[in-house]
Amino acid sequence: MPRSALVAPGPALSAAERTRHARHLLLPGVGEEGQRRLANARVLLVGAGGLGSPAALYLAAAGVGTLTIVDDDLVDLTNLQRQILHGERDVGRRKVDSARDAVSRIAGATTVHTVDRRLDESSVLPLVADHDLVIDGADNFPTRALVSRACALLAVPHVWASVHRFDAQASVWWAGEGPCYHCVFPQQPSPDQVPSCAVGGVLGATVGAIGSVLAVEAIKLIVGLGEPLIGRLLVHDGLAQTWDTLTVRADPDCRVCGSEADPTAPLSGGTAEPVPAAYRPGEGVAPEDLAGLLEGGATLIDVREPGEREIVTIPGAIPLPLAAVLAGAPVPPGVLVVHCKSGGRSARAVATLRARGVDARNLDGGILAWVARIRPEESTY
Please check whether residue 51 is in contact with residue 214, taking contact to mean a CB–CB distance below 8 angstroms: yes
Q: Is 254 a catalytic residue?
A: no
Which pairs count as long-range contacts for 24-33, CB under 8 Å and 24+ apart, including other chains? 24/62, 24/63, 29/2, 29/223, 29/224, 29/225, 29/226, 30/223, 30/225, 33/9
Cross-strand bridge partners of residue 180: none
CA dihedral for 118, 119, 123, 128, sign (positive or negative)? positive
DSSP code of residue 320: -
Catalytic residue among 151, 180, 254, 340: 340
Q: Is 197 a catalytic residue?
A: yes
Catalytic residue among 180, 183, 197, 257: 197
DSSP calls for 74-111: BP-GGGGGT-TT--GGGTTSBHHHHHHHHHHHH-TTSE
Please check whether residue 76 is in contact with residue 342, taking contact to mean a CB–CB distance below 8 angstroms: no
Rounded to the nearest angstrom, the gap between the alpha carbon of residue 373 and the centroid of all alpha carbons in its chain is 28
Show which residues are catalytic: 197, 340
